Amino acid sequence: MGERRTARVATDARGGAGGAAHEPSLAELQEALARCVDPAGNVPARVGDELAREQGWNGRLVDVLRLFTASERRTAYLAGGRRPEEILRWMEPWVEVPLSIGELPHVVTGGGWDREPCVHSARAGLLERVLKARGGAPRRIHGERAGAWLSDECALAGPAEIVALVRAVLDEGPVRSSAGDGNPPG
């Protein structure tokens, strides 16, 4: 692997880029990601952490970037690739989704890809129960990671149908945990 360029800026005594921490705009993030690519044009893992530290950035956009870039495998899984434009295209809808930054990692580790079923499950207070087995391990439903199942089964369903399907699955009894299967990328 070749040398990677990073977006270095002068920092003040508080550690931020020229002052207090702030949330970047999408344009600022796009420029920074373009400066961080490796020779193949890919964004490195953990670039969200690096940019937050070096640029003094914070906020939901940065939190979602950190989630997306936690590993090369996760970036490729969530964004369909590791190029800045791929990451930004798939990141933006997750920034806007009305799920907490604490709920998003559960969706990701559960293999979820469709936001709407997750939102309706969360509003009904069922999201964490459907995504996590007892003990906190990712849940599997009918052999599939729970987030993937939720996305696949409920992608075209309305809110009431989503909640009914989730409740029916939860009422079926114990559902296998996927502890140790290594999926999805983390």
Q: Mark which of 42, 67, 96 sits at the end of a domain.
A: 96
Is 65 a member of any domain? yes
Domain count, the chain: 2
Domain hosting 32: range is 21-96
Is there a domain that residue 86 lies in? Answer: yes
CA distance 107 to 97: 12
d(CA 177, CA 97): 26
Query: Is the domain of 158 the same as that of 136?
Result: yes
Q: Is 185 within a domain? A: no
Please identify, among 96, 131, 163, the residue that sits at the C-terminal boundary of a domain. 96
**Residues 85, 157: one domain?**
no
Tens digits of residue pLDDT in 91-119: 988 999 999 999 999 998 899 888 999 99
Note whether 55 and 9 are within 8 A (CB): yes
Nearest-angstrom CA–CA distance, 54 and 31: 14
Residue at a domain's end among 71, 96, 121: 96
pLDDT score, position 163: 96
Beta bridge partners of 145: 140
Q: What one-letter code names the amino acid at 20?
A: A
pLDDT band at 150 (very low <50, low <70, confident <90, very high): very high
62 located within any domain: yes
The CA distance from 150 to 121, in Å, is 9
Residue 66, pLDDT > 90, answer yes
Torsion sign across C-alpha atoms 119, 69, 184, 131: negative
